[in-house]
Structure 1
Amino acid sequence: MDVVSDAVSAIRIGQPSSNRVAVSGRWCARLAPYDGAGFHVVLEGSCWLLPDGGSPVSLGAGDVVLLPHGTGHVIADAPADAATVRQAVPFERWLTGDAPPRRASATGNKVAMLCGKYRLDRSRLHPLMAEMPEVVHLPNRVGAHAELRAAIDLLGHELGTQGPGSCIAVPSLLDLLLVYMIRSWTAQGRGTWPAVLGDPVAAAALRALHSDLAAPWTIDRLAAEAGVSRATLSRRFTTLVGRPPMAYLTWWRLTFAATLLRDTPDPLAAIARRVGYGTPYALSHAFTREFGTTPGQYRASTTG
């Protein structure tokens, strides 16, 4: 595994959802704040995204926008004043076959979009995900985000045709789309974590830890993996990541243990081995100290 894959896997729950929608004329629809992440891909035409408390974002054909923190927002054919935003109808009306009401008798352009949501467990948000902005706008530019464009084309085709196997293909493509959106954001070089992943020392250490979480890591062994002295590793890693290497390892082991408790029926002894703890007792003690609840209580509360 790698940092991005683990960061997504740790918080993703349930199945993502998506819809292909089309509208024309003058319209305005609202999506309420959501305990997850949302996205829009403009396939045809243009529109505006008006995030709660944020600046309007103009979206053109081929543009992608990710709302990693589930920010409430309005999508509309044009910038709208506060009164119009308050009158926006729930986006869910599209999904029942109703179009958002037209704001005025005007032709307007035809807009087709892919819209979707991911359910996320924010209790163990990886710092890479936590630092992402409320709105990630990925404009359509020639030669940019080639993998993301390919995933969009495949997803649009599947949603448009509903061919054999779509029930498997669509969720898989949505997972791929999320990874590519995050990857495209990191490629922009904004924030702390793009710098972390681009640093040869910190990235090498993170790659080693995430690839073999159960290994008996020490600072000396990790420094050898990164090809630097332990002092250099500690300084670079702590400066970029925000915590020392071994503290990060402990936090991630317990975070991954929580994911296994939530998503698998594995006994505590098996989970302890997978995350590098010698005994179930050792894991239980560390887990309780980190989360304020025992592994058993945590599993019961997250699996219902």
Structure 2
Amino acid sequence: MDLLSEVIRSIRVGGVGSRLIRQSRGVRFSAFSGSGFHVVLRGSCWLITEDEDPLALAPGDVVLTSSGAEHGLSHVPCALEDLPLAVMGPIPPAPGAFDFEFLCGAYRLDHGLAPQYLRALPDLISVSPDPERDPEMRALVELLRADVSGPRMGTGATLPAILDLILVTVLRLWHERHGTAGWPDTDDPAIAAVLRQIHDDPRRPWTVARLSEVAGLPRTAFTRRFTAVVGRPPMSYLIGWRLSSGARLLRETDATLATIARQVGYSTEFAFSAAFRREYGVSPSRFRLSPAVAALP
């Protein structure tokens, strides 16, 4: 089961944004619902967090905030509260001298949380791609830099695709360097089989009993094993997947609410709407009308 692909599909319902920032001192990013990253382009800086020692960053280094944790970037080691809070909005880079330059990219989930798989990772991940071994990262960063350099036709289509590719590449690199530590164990064949069935056919009237049959395990053992691997009980995960699938369909298609409800496993649009509002805090129609491009700090 390729859970990394599912991570991208799940987080894609958020608004995306990117921005080039130049700093002569430093800046603090408040916590938010979603995921984002920074790529250092020029100069050196330090990653500042509340609880960890400052981490030195060099050009090419990437920091991923897997589930929107508060953090900062500074030209010298310091306390997080000493850094000024970033101003939100599509603000162009400040003119004049600077100590370091970096690109930001983020998926902002105004409704709902980052996928469980990202929330299971450390709050902040740092990777240092090798220019020889990882040339794709350099190419993606150049594409992103060109895309945010000024208004361009087609940015609404290209920006989400580039952010998807950068997120996948960062997670791959981190996973290669750290093995399975901190990453859901997707090598469990029983749980992988269940996830595949849920993802491929969410409309099926699944129960814990039916899912445990797919896994080939007794119900109690299956529930315990599924929860340990995935981080949520089976039915909670199923509901979350149905609703995130519905959110994607709301954003990516013109299908009616009744059609989407049936496609993701709800008998009526009213049942889907009630569940969607509980999960995302807004109605499906309001979610569909909300902007897909987010303002970044």
Q: Fold match, TM over 0.5?
A: yes
Distance 1:246 1:115, change over 3 A: closer
Contact 2:65 2:123 in 1 (8 A): yes
Q: Which residue of structure 2 aligns with residue 78 of structure 1?
A: 76
TM-score, normalised via structure 1 length: 0.71
TM-score between the two structures when normalised by the length of structure 2:
0.72
- Three-state SS of the structure 2 residue aligned to 1:41 is strand
Describe the superposition over 1:161-212 as per-residue Cα deviations: whole angstroms up to 9, x where unpaired. 9887556433321222123334444453232xx2332333222321232122
Q: Pick from 260, 265, 283: which aligns with 1:298?
A: 283
Counterpart-to-counterpart distance in 2, 1:225 and 1:257 = 24
Q: Pick closer, same or farther for the CA change 1:197–1:271 going to 2, 3 Å.
A: same
The alignment partner of 2:38 has SS state of strand
Q: Which residue of 2 aligns with 1:29?
A: 26
Q: Which runs of 5+ in 1 are unaligned?
A: 103-109
More helix by share: 1
* Conservation of the 8 A alpha-carbon contact between 1:21 and 1:114: yes
CA, structure 1 residues 76+253, in 2 after alignment: closer, same or farther (shift >3 Å)? same
What secondary structure sits across from 2:122 in the alignment? coil
Using a 3 Å threshold, how does the CA distance of structure 1 residues 280 and 58 change in structure 2: closer, same or farther? same
1:269 pairs with 252, 258, 272, which one? 258
What residue in structure 2 maps to residue 51 of structure 1? Answer: 49
Give the Cα–Cα distance (whole angstroms) in 1 for the partners of residues 67 and 265 of structure 2: 31
Q: Which region of structure 1 is more displaced relative to structure 2, 90-99 or 118-127?
A: 90-99
Residue 59 of structure 1 aligns with an amino acid whose one-letter code is L
1:173 to 162, 184, 200: 162
- The farther-off stretch of 165-174 and 256-265 is 256-265
Structure 2: gaps of 5 or more residues: 291-297
Query: How much has 1:213 moved relative to structure 2?
Result: 1.6
Match of 1:190 in 2: 181
Aligned equivalent of 2:294: none
- Shift of the alpha carbon at 1:77? 2.3
Letter in 2 for 1:31: R
The aligned counterpart of 2:67 is: 69
Q: How many residues align?
A: 285
Relative contact order (alpha carbons < 8 A, sep ≥ 6): 1 or 2 greater?
Answer: 2
Question: Are residues 40 and 97 of structure 1, via their aligned partners in 2, closer, same or farther at CA, if it must alter by over 3 Å?
Answer: closer
Alpha-carbon distance between aligned partners in 2 of 1:251 and 1:89, rounded to the nearest angstrom: 33
Query: Root-mean-square deviation (CA), in Å?
Result: 4.1
Q: Cα offset for 1:33?
A: 0.9
Q: Which has the larger radius of gyration?
A: 1
Q: Secondary structure at the match of 2:53?
A: coil
- Kindly indicate whether residue 120 of structure 2 is the aligned counterpart of residue 131 of structure 1: yes
Q: Who is 1:248 aligned against?
A: 237
- Contact persistence 2:15–2:109 (CA under 8 A): no
Kept in 2: contact 1:124–1:255 (CA 8 A): no
1:16 and 2:7 correspond:
no
Q: What secondary structure is seen at the aligned counterpart in 1 of 2:59?
A: coil
Alpha carbons 1:28, 1:88 under 8 Å: kept:
no
Q: Counterpart of 1:270 in structure 2: which amino acid? A: T
